[in-house]
Structures are given as structure tokens and as C-alpha cells.
Amino acid sequence: MSLVKRTDRLPFILDDILNTDWFGGTSNGQKIGFNTPAVNVKESDNDFVIELAAPGLVKKDFNIELDNEVLTISSEVKKETTEEKDNYTRKEFGYSAFKRSFTLPDTVDIVDILASYDNGILSVKLPKKEEAKVQPKRLIEIS
């Protein structure tokens, strides 16, 4: 897939890439850490698919929101364990969070967006509007 030819159809990819400061934050000052999941974006004739690598999470750990044409995928997980023995208490806790946002093109049918999570991969299917789908080649008769 060539981004040079398809930037008009995949502007949300460029938003995410160009707004990233590769040294620990984004252009708007939002810090990102090592736990920010990798994202793949695929385009077919009928849809776009965002795949986000997030192993170790479960479906309920994700929050997917659509506000205007901005799709935001986020997660916040807090874990705490306590072990008490005769003369000591061990308490451990962990916290991990991320947030990724994508500006969707006008060609996405926002009513029929679907998401699934399987084997550590969150997939968000963004179907294209009928008028945006690639139409098959046809012969036009001259009258």
C-alpha cells in the first residue's frame, strides 16, 4: 500500500504518525510510555481495520469512543495484591494505561463500526460508506 497515493483516503494514519514526538510525548504535550500499543491500519475496498496489539488485557479493559470523527481507544488497568504472613505484609500494585486517537475520514460509515478482541489483538472495523467503496469497472454505452 502506498501512502503517497492514498493520503486522501487514509488521513487518520498521518494524524497519528505526524502528531507523535518520538522522544516520549505528542505534539500536544500528552506523554506516552513504553506501554503504548502498536497499531496497524489496513484498507480494503469495503473498509478500514485498525489492529491494536494489547496482550494480557480482556475486553472489559478497553474503552472505545467516537466523538465527532475522532475515534479514541483507551485502557486503564490497576492491579493490586496483598500477601500477609506471620511477621510481614507484602503489597504489590501495578498500573497501566494508554490512549490512542484517530481522526476518521468522511468515507467511514460511523453507524456500523464494530470491534472485537482475540488473542491479544483488538480489531476495530470501520466500514466505508457505499458511495466511497471502489466500484467495479463497467462499460458505458454511447447513445
Region 26-44 average pLDDT: 68
CA atoms of 119 and 122, how far apart (whole Å): 9
Region 65-90 average pLDDT: 89
Region 49-69 average pLDDT: 93
Nearest to 125 by CA among 110, 141, 140, 139: 110
The answer as to whether 10 is a domain residue is: yes
The whole-number pLDDT of residue 21 equals: 44
The answer as to whether 137 is a domain residue is: no
- Evaluate if residue 31 carries a pLDDT over 70: no
Copy the grid coordinates of residue 19: 502528531
Residue 37 vs residues 34, 69, 107: alpha-carbon distances, Å: 8, 21, 26
The answer as to whether 135 is a domain residue is: no
How many percent of the chain have pLDDT more than 90? Answer: 46
The answer as to whether 140 is a domain residue is: no
The answer as to whether 141 is a domain residue is: no
Domain that holds residue 41: 3-130
- For residue 31, list its beta bridge partners: 25
Q: Which CATH number covers residue 65? A: 2.60.40.790
CA atoms of 73 and 96, how far apart (whole Å): 14
- In which band, very low, low, confident or very high, does the pLDDT at 64 lie, cut at 50, 70 and 90? very high
The answer as to whether 136 is a domain residue is: no
- In which band, very low, low, confident or very high, does the pLDDT at 93 lie, cut at 50, 70 and 90? confident
- Evaluate if residue 35 carries a pLDDT over 50: yes
Within 8 A by CB and 6+ apart from 98, the residues are 32, 33, 35, 36, 37, 74, 75
Q: Domain count for the chain, please give it.
A: 1
